[in-house]
Structure 1
Amino acid sequence: MKETKLNSNELFFSITSHDSTILSGNDVFVRISGYTKDELIGSFHNIVRHPDMPRVIFKTLWDHIKAGKPIVAYVKNKTKEGGYYWVLAAVFPLKERYVSIRIKPDTKVFSAIRELYVKLLMAESTGGMDESERIMPELLREVGYESYEHFMGDALLSELKGRQNLKSQSCMKAEDFVLVHPQLSQLKSAHTQCEILLQEYDRWFEKIDFFADIKSIFEEKGMALRYLARDIVNLSLNTSVSSYKVANGGETFGILARDIRINAKENDALIHQIHQTIEKLSSALNGIVFLVSAIRLQIEMVTYVIDEVLCKNSEVQMVEMRGNICDLIALVMEYSDKTKALQGELNGEIKEVLAYLDQLEKQMMYLGYVQVYGVIEAAGSSDESARFGIIFAQLKALIGETVQEIATMQKMGQNFDGENRSLMKRSEESVVILERLHEEMVMIKAREENHGK
């Protein structure tokens, strides 16, 4: 059971039909599997399936792709000679096909999941796949993931971050490389477009930590607002109860208690709306992180395949891989459209949160006026009502904390709004490059067809 070496800077892909028949793949896939291309094409993908893989992982994979959803999984595969190799596989449904892009895994996430797989295999050996499916959510929570979707987004992001400093194994040297076929020169132009796209999405990729920070801060601050709102409601009730115990001036404190209570309930309703919007915002941010990671991987795969063709300097290789390159570009364009749509949702949700925060800020200003009036009344009252000085001092502290949380969220929201607008503009520029790249491939196809005639 010797491990076959997959270099960290290599990528490989396969394209399969809905029944998992292998339709195509690149040179790295052929080399790493140990099979010839003729042996792979037309075979079911389980030709490389390793017995050490828990069956529940493949069930999860098929559940996702049959539902038209992408999935990411760590997979141990076997080679023709009986060896093995590990990959992080990202599988994307594309019309009537599935595109699977694989990279070498090398992160702490990978280490944790290998241990998890051992536990799943043990569960399957005693209770079958039903048992491993039952315990998998619990095992994922033990390593810090709320769900499989949470895990696969983090796994893809972690592995891609680890690849950022890697360079592809290009054998091309633009300054002295002579292409023997005219179409290859056109393909070289497409390669240049891909490199520009990679640079664009690298800029996007650099913002992923910012997206993650926004998500966690908004969730944290949203929860803090809910606790503060609860404390203000409780304080309003204490004020109301205390007002009944005051013989002289109790009516005034009763009115103040009522104003605080009404304001607190309105604030609570606003904070509930903020919390709901933040939940939608968090889900959309998770989606953006996954989509940007997926596109970054897809663009790198397109570039790598074109590079393989150019390195071979072969017209036959170009004709064979042209369809694959077109499929991969189509995949990038599809995910680019999804990203644009989700950015639009994010834009609307952040504006909604900011609008609610503005309303809450005004509510807290009014509550501040009530608090000041209450302090004045408490200062001019008899010793019997001295307790109100303490109550209104507590209210002042709660108002101050709430205003501070609102200000932090407003600042983060405004920063995010600006960043999102900038990225939306860059996204439009990337779409233009993508369309140009697609045109390059269409022209290559047309030239090939004319050449065949």
Structure 2
Amino acid sequence: MFSCQIACRIPAEEAAVRETQTEPDIAARSEEIDFPFHDLFISHTDKRGVIISGNEVFRRVSGFDWSELVGAPHRLIRHDDMPCGVFQLFWDRLKAGKGVGCYVKNKTKDNRSYWVYAYVTPIADGYVSTRQRPSSDLFEKVREIYAGLRRREREENLTPEASRDALLETLAQAGFANYEDFMACSAVRETTGRIRALGRTLPYEIREAANFATVLRPFRQGIDELERLFTSIHDAPTNIRILAAQLEQNSGPIGIISNNHTTLSQEVVASLADFRRETEAIFDAVNNAVFNVCLARILTEMVEKFETETECAPGLDFASEANILAGAAEVASRQARDHLFRMARQSRRFANATADMKRKASALDVTRIMCKIENARNPDPTGGLGQILDNLEKVQGRIAQRLSAMAKASRTITSDADLFARGRQV
């Protein structure tokens, strides 16, 4: 569909082209065109990215004739402002048999430009791309990211792979764990934005998808905060033992209790790695479910629109193309349901992991209280130990609050995902 290698071949060729451009040419290149929210593009390509068919919206907005589109590589509409790293990421996913969603700036025949949010999904003989007008606040942020990345490609002569890695790094800095996280967030925002712009009521499945995406965010923040909190008290057991040795000559109750606290702390730290894996697993399940819910929605709408098309590519077999779209929509629906069931299963595992962490955190708190009691009983209590115990009380209180919030969110996802997957067709 796109060629990142050609997209990155810039300096000499681009300079030569620009020297021959007239002022009207340059003005046209900078002009962006809008299209109505109800318009949906579709194009069908083979595995090499050569256009097989498309709908009238695709032809009309691009400005090309069917004779120029059919049989041409999809990069015919590629805009020079697009970073090659985006297309590298595109092809990485498609060649792995995965669907992809991203923002794309295209060019028209007369060198104007237009933006789309594109869903591309693999099918038997190639790929189907469905595109809509973007409108969310995330879209504006992506425009800035693309501009900065394209500038780096030119100035640093980045390879497609290096550009892809730079894009992922920039998205991580913006708060996205990986590209699946970004796809889920962007897909649900663009889907809800379009539905509202059209004055329609949000369907049940889209409301739930948006809710899952919202509930999910505290999970990653939660595990990150837990790791920071446990790291902040990592040295506390050692310091308690040192003070206990000074106070009790290594044989008193505080020393014994501090040893228990050390053992429990080590168990908690060991459990954190497993806890993060459970968090990542539910994160992945939710992201995939959300993206496929949105993909299924737009493909289903595209099937309905395609059935009324009268001006598609010449010689197009309408029935065959409609079946291809319907099949892609069904695959997306099935994948969404599968991920929802997986999300519910994983959420139950996560709830168990959270309960285990809460038990260990409670045990830590008990040892802290015992230390505090014994320190108060000592005829010569040490202020240093009291300060350590007071700090432990504050930190362990925050740990308990975070674990309780994560457990509550997990129960919500478990319940809603089960009902959604069993009771609704996506």
Which residue is 1:13 aligned to? 42
Q: Is the 8 A contact 1:123 1:132 kept in 2?
A: no
Rg (Cα) greater in structure? 1
Among residues 391, 400, 403, which one is paired with 1:403 in the alignment? Answer: 400
CA shift in 2, pair 1:55/1:385, >3 Å: closer
Q: Is the 8 A contact 2:82 2:104 kept in 1?
A: yes
Q: Report the TM-score, using the length of structure 1 for normalisation.
A: 0.75
- Matches of 1:410 and 1:153, distance apart in 2: 23
Which residue is 2:96 aligned to? 67
Q: Is the 8 A contact 1:364 1:399 kept in 2?
A: yes
Which residue is 1:180 aligned to? none
Q: Offset of 1:110 from its aligned partner?
A: 3.3
Which structure 2 segments of 5+ residues have no match? 1-27
**Residue 9 of structure 1 aligns to a residue in which SS?**
coil
Deviates further, 15-24 or 35-44: 35-44
Q: Is the 8 A contact 2:223 2:276 kept in 1?
A: yes
- Matches of 2:304 and 2:194, distance apart in 1: 15
- Matches of 1:142 and 1:84, distance apart in 2: 28
Identity %: 25
* Aligned AA (1:380): R
- Matches of 1:398 and 1:4, distance apart in 2: 54
Q: Offset of 1:297 from its aligned partner?
A: 1.8
Q: Offset of 1:382 from its aligned partner?
A: 0.7
Which residue is 2:128 aligned to? 99
Q: Is the 8 A contact 1:13 1:26 kept in 2?
A: yes
- Matches of 1:263 and 1:276, distance apart in 2: 20
1:207 aligns with 2:208: yes
CA shift in 2, pair 1:62/1:390, >3 Å: closer
* Aligned AA (1:236): P
Which residue is 2:335 aligned to? 338
- Matches of 1:251 and 1:150, distance apart in 2: 52
Which residue is 2:296 aligned to? 295
Match runs of 1:35-434 below 5 Å: 35-125=64-154, 128=157, 130=159, 133-134=162-163, 135-137=166-168, 140=171, 148-167=179-198, 202-247=203-248, 250-306=251-307, 308-309=308-309, 320-384=317-381, 388-426=385-423, 429-430=424-425
- Matches of 2:84 and 2:337, distance apart in 1: 36
Q: Is the 8 A contact 1:233 1:261 kept in 2?
A: no
Q: Is the 8 A contact 1:49 1:76 kept in 2?
A: yes
CA shift in 2, pair 1:151/1:403, >3 Å: closer
Q: 1:186-227: CA deviations, max 9, x gaps? A: xxxxxxxxxxxx98x821211234323333212222233333
Question: What's the RMSD between the two structures over aligned residues?
Answer: 3.4
- Matches of 2:286 and 2:104, distance apart in 1: 27
**Residue 246 of structure 1 aligns to a residue in which SS?**
helix
- Matches of 1:142 and 1:229, distance apart in 2: 24
CA shift in 2, pair 1:113/1:132, >3 Å: farther
CA shift in 2, pair 1:350/1:167, >3 Å: same
- Matches of 1:142 and 1:363, distance apart in 2: 33
- Matches of 2:287 and 2:266, distance apart in 1: 32
Q: Is the 8 A contact 2:180 2:288 kept in 1?
A: no
1:34 aligns with 2:63: yes
CA shift in 2, pair 1:272/1:157, >3 Å: same
Q: Is the 8 A contact 1:70 1:92 kept in 2?
A: yes
**Residue 245 of structure 1 aligns to a residue in which SS?**
helix
* Aligned AA (1:284): A
CA shift in 2, pair 1:346/1:380, >3 Å: same
Q: Report the TM-score, using the length of structure 2 for normalisation.
A: 0.79
**Residue 165 of structure 1 aligns to a residue in which SS?**
helix
- Matches of 2:175 and 2:369, distance apart in 1: 46
Which residue is 2:51 aligned to? 22
CA shift in 2, pair 1:281/1:246, >3 Å: same
- Matches of 1:269 and 1:296, distance apart in 2: 42
Which structure 1 segments of 5+ residues have no match? 169-197, 432-453
- Matches of 1:160 and 1:403, distance apart in 2: 37
* Aligned AA (2:37): S
